[in-house]
Amino acid sequence: MKSVLLIGLGRFGRNMAQKLSELHYEVMAVDKEENLVNAVLPLVTDAQIGDVTNEAFLETLGVDNFDLCFVTIGADFQSSLVATALLKDLGAKRVVARASSEIHKKFLLRNGADDVFYPAKQVADWAVIRYAVDHVLDYVTLDSEYAIYDVAVPEEWDGKTVGSLDIRKKYGLNVLAVRGGGATNAAITSETVLLSTQTVLVLGHWKDVQKCFRI
């Protein structure tokens, strides 16, 4: 079972505590606000009230014993940077921090964060693709270049096989699964037949998805 140190218990941090609880992780939650700490007590293994920019306080937590440390402080730029740097100085195995802007992200990485997530931008990107782009039902970013897209099967593909379309050779896209009728078929072969009532999960670059599906 993984042990997690969760620093910052605002709305975002509370949601993370909820999910970590559902996954049955051992969680130590920390915030300087007593009311925020009390609110997550039913969800976590332990909780502490304290200033995470204070090295002496952080040291009492034994940060090097946790498998993962999350810094979810969003609004307080300086506290986020200081906490991240101190965690690494104290031997934290892995520190993942939340950024509130691109410049915040850059400074977090410079201060020792092993990884940084930027929820506002990531959700905005997802919302645009999901709701403003025709025929794309969902997508999951894998890195700066690749993502998995859930795209409606074009009418002209109806009844054709994956092999005959050969979108991997033509567009560099990999077909991962086909969804339809409430079921997902991940056992894709060249003989898999596509229907216009289905959607297809493809892995690749956005520009290649645009070309292939004429988006």
* pLDDT tens, N- to C-terminus, the chain (215 residues): 789 999 999 999 999 999 999 999 999 999 999 999 999 999 999 999 999 999 999 999 999 999 999 999 977 889 999 999 999 999 999 999 999 888 998 999 999 999 998 887 777 877 777 777 778 888 887 777 888 999 999 999 999 999 999 999 899 999 999 998 888 989 999 999 999 999 999 999 989 988 988 88
- For residue 188, the SS3 value is coil
In this structure, the strands spanning 147-152 and 136-141 are antiparallel
Would you give the DSSP letter of residue 93? S
Would you give the DSSP letter of residue 129? I
What Cα–Cα distance (Å) separates residue 138 from each residue in 18, 127, 149? Answer: 24, 9, 6
The answer to whether residues 18 and 43 touch, using CB atoms and an 8 Å cutoff, is yes
Which domains does the chain possess?
3-119 (3.40.50.720), 129-213 (3.30.70.1450)
Q: Quick one: tokens of 15?
A: 């949601």
